């Protein structure tokens, strides 16, 4: 056997070995191939080694954590349904909260709109607003206290509280609003 034949056989064995390990992968786009090439050049690593390491990392991240696309889509659908249900619940809760807040305002207002004997509780929000601002215009009071002017009982209750505070000398009614005198 001549030395040339021996070298040819060794070269063929190397190509067969390489061919036995080769995997052909088609990337989704030329841009992605360009990105991978750029990354491999930046890291001074052959692209094949970069891809192998990325696949190893993904598999090493725990094979049991690996989810198929179908599983991820099913999980996404379940989460979207859960989110939709949560949004519906939140809407109901907000509506009920608004209703309860309105009822509380009405009940507190009734203390001033209905004749009663004994101690009356003033709205802390009203007193705090007047103290902090010093002067508040009529319309601003209801905006700041989140009172709808059409809630006549609540508005009347706040007006009665303001009048009582005025009688105690704590506030002064001015042309366009109320001033805290404390």
Q: pLDDT by residue (tens digit) across 73-130?
A: 999 999 999 999 999 999 999 999 988 888 877 776 666 566 554 455 677 888 888 8
In this prediction, residue 138 has a pLDDT band, given cuts at 50, 70 and 90, of confident
In this prediction, residue 44 has a pLDDT band, given cuts at 50, 70 and 90, of very high
Give the DSSP letter string of 131-178: HHHSEEEHHHHHHHTT--TT-HHHHHHHHHHHHHHHHTTSEEE-SSEE
Q: Which of 10, 43, 62 lies at the terminal end of a domain, its last residue?
A: 62
41 within some domain: yes
Pair 49, 112 in one domain:
no
Which residue matches tokens 């060794």?
10
Residue-range definition of the domain harbouring residue 129: 100-180
pLDDT for 85 equals: 95
141 within some domain: yes
pLDDT for 113 equals: 60
Count how many domains the chain has: 2
148 within some domain: yes
123 within some domain: yes
Pair 55, 115 in one domain:
no
72 within some domain: no
């Amino acid at each position: 056997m001549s030395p040339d034949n021996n070298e040819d056989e060794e070269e063929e064995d190397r190509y067969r070995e390489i061919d036995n390990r080769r995997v052909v992968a088609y990337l989704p786009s030329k841009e992605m191939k360009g990105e991978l090439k750029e990354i491999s050049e930046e890291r001074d690593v052959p692209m094949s080694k970069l891809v192998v390491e990325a696949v190893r990392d993904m598999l090493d991240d725990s094979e049991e954590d690996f989810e198929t696309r179908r599983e991820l889509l099913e999980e996404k659908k379940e989460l979207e349904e859960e989110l939709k249900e949560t949004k519906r619940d939140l809407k109901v809760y907000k509506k009920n909260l608004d209703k309860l807040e309105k009822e509380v305002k009405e009940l507190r207002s009734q203390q001033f709109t209905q004749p009663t004997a004994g101690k009356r509780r003033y709205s802390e929000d009203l007193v705090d607003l007047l103290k902090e601002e010093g002067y508040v215009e009529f319309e601003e009071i209801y905006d700041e206290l989140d009172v709808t002017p059409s809630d006549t009982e609540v508005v009347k209750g706040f007006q009665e509280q303001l009048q009582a505070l005025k009688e105690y000398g704590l506030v002064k009614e001015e042309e366009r609003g109320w001033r805290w005198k404390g």
